[in-house]
Amino acid sequence: MTTESISSNNDDVKYLLGHILVDKKILNENDLNEALAEQKKSSRPLGEILVKRGLVSEQDIIDAFTMQTSQRVVPDQDKSRLGRLRSLRIPISIKLAMLITTLIVGIMIIASVFFYYSQKEEFIAQSMRFGGAIAGNLSHNSSVALLENDEASLNILLEEVSKMQDITYVMILDKAGIIRAHSDVQKIDKPYRPIVNPETISKTEKNEISKYKIGHKEILDFSTPVMFNNTFLGTIHIGISLDSLNKKIERFGIMVLILTTALTAVGIWISFFISGNFSTPIIDLVRGTNEIKQGNFSYRSKISYNDELGDLTLAFNDMADGLRKKEIIQNAFGQYVNHEIVDLILKNPDSFLGGENRLMTIMMTDLRGFTAISETLPAKDVLKIVNIYLETMTEVVMKYNGTIIEFIGDAILAVFGAPILREDDAKRAVACAIEMQNAMIDVNARCRELGYPEVEQGIGLNTGESVVGSIGSDKKTKYGLVGRNVNLTGRIESYSVGGQILISESTAKACGAILKIHNTLEVMPKGVKKPISLYDVTGIEGEFNVFIPVKAKVKLIELKKGMPIVFFALEGKYATKTCYEGIVTHLNANEALIQSETIPEALSNIKFTITTEDNKENAPDLYAKVMESPSSGPSTFKVYFTSVPYEARDHLNKVLQESSKS
């Protein structure tokens, strides 16, 4: 897609970001076309691509977006593309109408069929009751005449019955099966011929009803015995034609069909009316979505209904307003965790692009021994662990109104006091750090569910003045901070072990007496002329009132047979070349006492390997932090494990079990 093709569409396109930069002579058309091609492949924002390529500055992007949002008008629809899409789809109003129509037609058909067959059964039941009543009455009245062989009386009875509607025949048989009376006089005194293959409808001691056909004519035959003083005298047979009944049922079916068709037509009209009203705001929202996609964040949908669709439209308008505010910053500087930075930029961009020296509490965190873990796991698993950790910690930092400056691998740099300065920044930072340590329980629970190793976090806090603002050049800019206090915070964090929070003296003074301090350390960081005091914090009272649960102190088990090791001092995350020998004399799951002629510096990090007597490696490397030297002797130092691989953990557990048994 070239610039020329864009320009030929309509006048509104001149307000697109690329054209604004070209019109202002900041960007040439060839560079714009290359950036557009990259955007098509990567789907990244155009502003981000232009800044990354070094073609424009982030300030240029801000200015262009400001001009775009202030001058942009609603662009026309791409009618040809929309026409192709519409030819391949069914509108939601039609789908909804079809659905409602299908439901209405289905319900009407089911109801009509049910009503039809229930009425048909009722008509048949009425005929059966009618025939049964006539047969019973005739049986009662003909018993004496049949006993006395009074054929005249029998024929008079039959004559009255045969005149009734739908009666096909009536006959009276004696007990020998000879017809003594019949509506057809030619059949009198002849033997009765039973019905061939009748379908028995019902049969009782007093009555038997059968159905059979003569040609196309259906007849119900009612057979009732004639009794006198419990003596069987003969049988009554009455035949009732079902033709009139079937015609009545047919007329009823036609009436039901007409009524069903009429109601279905009304239902279809109602369904299209409802679906049309329902789809109108959705169509408007689709139109608005296309406008947002084109960058027209000033578009607003009309709120027509006071229901969920109205709520959706209101939410859409709020979203469009939020996107209008954030698009400039997101494309220029990337995503900031704290929304206050975005609001600050929008209110006063010049202040953001500058810098200021202010008092703040700086936080740095790091996962202990994570470098060693990352060397033993696939990259996707390493990223999963990091993402679980950062996701959880971000929520806690946001809860305490901290600002995350950046993620540095598995580390977090955050500040309390920028861009918004508050009186309780130091206290909130400490409370946040405590809750972050407590949140590691959830992090490790999620890691265990996925089969990943557990991790521990060290946190350092320092309060002091630093320069905060837009840092970088016109090619690349980010919101950050610099100064000696940032470096000092990093040093403080490096002294912490897993689950520990170390704060500087300035942070402790800013918090006051509400702190709960477990221990005080005196260290000499690089670049510092005199020792400084660090405080191991376990809780903070007052309005925050959060604490790290007290861990039960695990006793060190004396090893009957010392465990030989070789260890190296670590500078940063890398081991030095000098190797030292030592023997582990006491051990538990987290700590060890090591006897050696060389005592590493307190709070330094070491890497060591368990060896056998012939100096061969017996387990993977372990990482630990050197703690204070115990009183057991000048050649012994205590370490806290920061990273123990699975194989090494299994080996240590075996050693502990053997020593416990002995």
The most confident of 307-316, 533-542, 544-553, by mean pLDDT = 533-542
Residue-wise pLDDT tens digits, 411-456: 999 999 988 888 999 999 999 999 999 999 999 999 999 999 889 9
* Highest averaged pLDDT of the listed ranges 37-46, 242-251, 310-319, 640-649: 640-649
Contact 200, 193 (CB under 8 A): no
Give the three-state DSSP class for 56: coil
What is the C-alpha separation between 27 and 50, in angstroms, rounded? 9
Nearest to 636 by CA among 602, 590, 588: 602
- pLDDT value, residue 635: 86
In contact, 93 and 276? CB cutoff 8 Å: yes
What is the SS3 string spanning 602-650? CCCEEEEEEECCCCCECCCCEEEEECCCCCCCCCEEEEEEEECCHHHHH
What mean pLDDT is predicted for residues 532-544?
95
What pLDDT score does 72 carry? Answer: 46
Residues 370-384 have a mean pLDDT of 86
Of all helices (H) and strands (E), which one includes residue 125?
helix 92-147
User: Rounded distance, CA 488 to CA 31, Å?
Assistant: 43
- E strands in 289-335: none
pLDDT over 90 percentage in the chain: 24
Q: How many CB atoms lie within 10 A of CB 563?
A: 21
pLDDT over threshold 60, residue 11: no
User: β-strand 557-571 against 591-595: which pairing, if any?
Assistant: unpaired
* pLDDT reported for residue 630: 63
d(CA 239, CA 217): 12
d(C-alpha 392, C-alpha 410), whole Å:
13
| 83-97, 173-187, 225-239, 456-470: least confidently modelled range | 83-97
| Closest to 66 in 3D by CA, of 354, 316, 340, 329 | 329
The fold adopted by the segment(s) 355-547 is: Alpha-Beta Plaits (3.30.70)
Query: Rounded to the nearest 10 degrees, what angle do helices 58-71 and 308-333 cross at?
Result: 150
DSSP codes, 377-423: S-HHHHHHHHHHHHHHHHHHHHHTT-EEEEEETTEEEEEESSSS--T
Query: Are 35 and 1 within 8 A, CB to CB?
Result: no
Contact criterion met (CB below 8 Å) for 511 and 426: yes
pLDDT tens figures, 106-160: 887 887 788 777 877 877 788 788 888 888 888 888 888 888 888 888 888 888 7
Residues β-bridged to residue 238: 170, 222
- List C-alpha distances in Å: 113 to 121, 251, 356, 561: 12, 14, 82, 91
Q: What is the mean pLDDT of the chain?
A: 80
Residue 172 tokens read as: 């009276």
User: Which sign does the torsion angle of CA 381, 386, 389, 390 carry?
Assistant: negative
- Does the pLDDT of residue 81 top 60, yes or no? no
pLDDT for res 292: 72
Most confident of 179-183, 368-372, 513-517, 521-525: 513-517
Topology annotation, domain 96-293: Beta-Lactamase (3.30.450)
Q: Average pLDDT, stretch 193-217?
A: 82
Rounded to an integer, what is the distance from CA 448 to the centroid of its chain?
A: 22
Per-residue tokens: 522:
């005196």
CA 23 to chain CA centroid, nearest Å: 45
What is the separation of C-alpha 586 from the centre of its chain, rounded to a whole number of angstroms?
Answer: 49
What gap in Å lies between CA 311 and CA 328, rounded to an integer?
Answer: 27
Percent of the chain with pLDDT over 70: 82
Handedness of CA 349, 354, 359, 361 (dihedral sign): positive
**Residues 146/180, Cβ–Cβ less than 8 Å:** yes
Cα(651)–Cα(640) distance, integer angstroms? 17
The 8-class DSSP code of residue 513 comes to: G
Residue 620 identity = P
The residues near 292 (Cβ < 8 Å, ≥ 6 apart) are 299, 320, 323
Residues 6+ away with beta carbon under 8 Å from 79: none
Whether pLDDT at 613 is above 80: no
Domain boundaries, the chain: 3-75+300-333, 96-293, 355-547, 557-661
Q: Residue 465: what are its φ and ψ, rounded to 5°?
A: -85, 140
d(CA 555, CA 592): 10
- Mean pLDDT within 60-74: 61
**Residue 611 corresponds to which tokens in the numbers above?**
């060896």
Q: What are phi and psi of 408, to 5 degrees?
A: -115, 85
Question: Which tokens go with 437?
Answer: 């340590």
Q: How far apart are CA 479 and CA 353, in angstroms?
A: 8
Report pLDDT for 77.
Answer: 43
Please tell me the distance from the alpha carbon of residue 149 to that of residue 155, in angstroms, as a whole number: 11
H-helix or E-strand containing 365? strand 355-368
Whether 647 has a pLDDT exceeding 50, the answer reads: yes
As a whole number of angstroms, the distance between CA 480 and CA 494 comes to 21
* Amino acid residing at 462: N
**Among 298-302, 386-390, 407-411, 527-531, whose mean pLDDT is lowest?**
298-302
Tokens describing residue 184: 């057809």
- With 70 as the cut, is the pLDDT of residue 84 above it? no
Amino acid making up residue 96: L
Contact 351, 323 (CB under 8 A): no
Instruction: Classify domain 557-661 by CATH number.
Output: 2.40.10.220
pLDDT at 609 > cutoff 60: yes
* Apex 141 CA angle, 135 and 145, nearest 5: 120
Report the alpha-carbon distance of residue 557 to residue 561 in Å, rounded.
12
Please give the DSSP secondary-structure letter assigned to residue 412.
E
- How far apart CA 520 and CA 518 sit, in angstroms, is 7
The answer to which of 70-79, 269-278, 409-418 has the lowest mean pLDDT is 70-79
Higher-confidence residue: 533 or 274?
A: 533
Q: For residue 330, what are the CA distances in angstroms to 295, 336, 340?
A: 13, 8, 13
Residue 330, pLDDT above cutoff 70: no
